[in-house]
């Protein structure tokens, strides 16, 4: 059974379409990265999943239940880290957790939860004095209350330093190992790459790709960029390099010394061999694989992928 099924979901505000016929599924037990630039509709989708807003058309099922009709039951089995969190300034970290524990009817220990997110030192401090990162940790601790079957994390790395972001991913992994499905939105590919089983890329309210991280990489075919610094270069050589079977593109950067930039799908030795055969001296060369960030860029801006 899928943990989340979004079926032809459309949401419009007056003339503005926030989501158009969006459909995707999140499988039980997976970590799903929900990726897209700001304004693509990620929060709108999450808001429908949690019944904060109502769809214009289409339907959403969470944990096998209708997102609107059974929202309370869904939320009792779901831990949520909302986007752009606002804590209650006058309540302490402990009181925040007690509220969540009280609301979910669980018997968690506030101290243990805060220990997990690295905030136990501030347990009796009022949240009004917390930094953005501390608020984020507090909200994550609240989301973990009651061992939820589903975790929905909306831009969880906001306000966290690299170390905090790493700890966040660590917790995502632990929760996933416990058996929880994790639905994780972000506008930064790097953050989902390390932890997600599958990634869905949202653009202008439409899902443009859903695949595993490797699958996405392959599908765009970004391949490898080879940068070769040579002593000289002529048009003839450039033509020959371009006509090599594994090369999709070749350009020249710089004049003195010239740098040959080649997009290669397979082996780069063919390119280097061809240069050597023509007596061109290779002074230096670097290779770079297309990163997922490039893949993300290509999907969200519609440009062709080139590893830089």
Partner 1 sequence: MSTETAAGSSGSGSGSASSSVNLESVRAVAKKDFQDAVRSWLFWGLSVFFFLLLVGVTGGLSYFGAEVSPTQAETTGALVSLVSQMTRVVIPLIALVLGWKAIAGERESGSIKVLLSLPHSRKDVLLGKLLGRAAVLSLSLIVGFVLAAVVVAAILGSFDVVEYAGLLAMAILYGLAYTSIAVSLSSMTKSTTIAGAAVFGVFLLFYAVWNLLLTGLQILMSRGTIDGVEYTRTFEMADGTTEQITAQRVPDWALFIDSLDPGNAFANALSIISSTVEGTTYPDYYFPDGMPFFLEDWFSFIILLLWIVVPLAVALWRFDRVDL
Query: Quick check: 4 binds partner 1 (CB under 8 A)?
Result: no
Site for partner 1 in 138-177 (CB under 8 A): 139, 142-143
Return the number of the residue (100 or 260) whose C-beta is nearest partner 1: 100
Stretch that binds partner 1, among 31-39, 101-109, 238-246, 291-299 (CB under 8 A): 101-109
* Contact call for residue 126 and partner 1 (CB under 8 A): yes
Q: How far is the CB of 144 from partner 1 (least distance, A)?
A: 12
- How many of the chain's residues bind partner 1 (CB under 8 A)? 44
Which of these ranges, 93-101, 111-119, 175-183, 270-278, lies near partner 1 under the rule CB under 8 A? 93-101
Q: What minimum distance in Å lies between the beta carbon of 122 and partner 1?
A: 16
Question: Site for partner 1 (CB under 8 A): which residue of 2, 20, 21, 91?
Answer: 91
Task: Please give, one letter per residue, the 3-state secondary structure of the chain.
Answer: CEEEEEEEEEEEECCEEEEEEEEEEEECCCEEEEECCCCCCHHHHHHHHCCCCCCCEEEEEECCEECCCCHHHHHHCEEEECCCCCCCCCCEHHHHHHHHHHHHCCCCCHHHHHHHCCCHHHCCCEHHHCCHHHHHHHHHHHHHCCCCCEEEEECCCCCCCHHHHHHHHHHHHHHHHHCCEEEEEECCHHHHHCCCCEEEEEECCEEEEEEEHHHHHHHHCCCEEEEEEECCCCHHHHHHHHHCCCEEEEEEECCCCCEEEEEECCCCHHHHHHHHHCCCCEEEEEEEECCHHHHHHHHHHCCCCCCC
**Options 105, 162, 279, 302; binder of partner 1; rule CB under 8 A:** 105
Binding site for partner 1 (CB under 8 A): 11-14, 47, 50-57, 59, 66, 68-69, 71-73, 75-76, 78, 80, 82-88, 90-91, 95, 99-100, 102-105, 126, 139, 142-143
């Amino acid at each position: 059974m899928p943990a989340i099924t979004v079926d032809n979901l459309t949401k419009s505000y007056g003339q503005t379409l926030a989501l158009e016929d969006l459909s995707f599924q999140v499988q039980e037990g997976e970590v799903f990265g929900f990726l897209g630039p700001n304004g693509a509709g990620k929060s709108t989708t999450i808001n429908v999943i949690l019944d904060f807003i109502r769809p214009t058309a289409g339907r959403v099922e969470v944990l096998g239940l209708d997102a609107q009709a059974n929202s309370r039951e869904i939320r009792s089995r779901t831990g949520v880290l909302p986007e752009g969190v606002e804590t209650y300034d006058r309540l302490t970290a402990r009181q925040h957790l007690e509220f969540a524990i009280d609301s979910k009817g669980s018997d968690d220990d506030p101290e243990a939860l805060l220990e997990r997110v690295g905030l136990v030192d501030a347990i009796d401090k009022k949240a009004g004095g917390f930094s953005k990162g501390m608020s984020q940790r507090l909200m994550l601790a609240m989301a973990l209350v009651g061992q939820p079957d589903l975790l929905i994390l909306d831009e969880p790395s906001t306000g966290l330093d690299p170390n905090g972001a790493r700890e966040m991913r660590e917790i995502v992994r632990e929760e996933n190992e416990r058996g929880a499905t994790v639905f994780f939105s972000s506008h930064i590919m790097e953050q989902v790459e390390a932890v997600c089983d599958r990634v869905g890329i949202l653009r202008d309210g439409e899902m443009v790709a859903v695949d595993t991280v490797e699958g996405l990489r392959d599908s765009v075919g970004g391949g490898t960029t080879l940068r070769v610094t040579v002593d000289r270069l002529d048009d003839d050589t450039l033509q020959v390099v371009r006509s090599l079977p594994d090369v999709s593109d070749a350009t020249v950067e710089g004049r003195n010394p010239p740098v040959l930039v080649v997009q290669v799908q397979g082996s780069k030795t063919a390119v280097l061999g061809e240069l050597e055969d023509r007596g061109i001296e290779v002074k230096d060369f670097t290779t770079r694989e297309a990163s997922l960030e490039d893949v993300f860029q290509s999907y969200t801006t519609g440009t062709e992928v080139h590893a830089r």
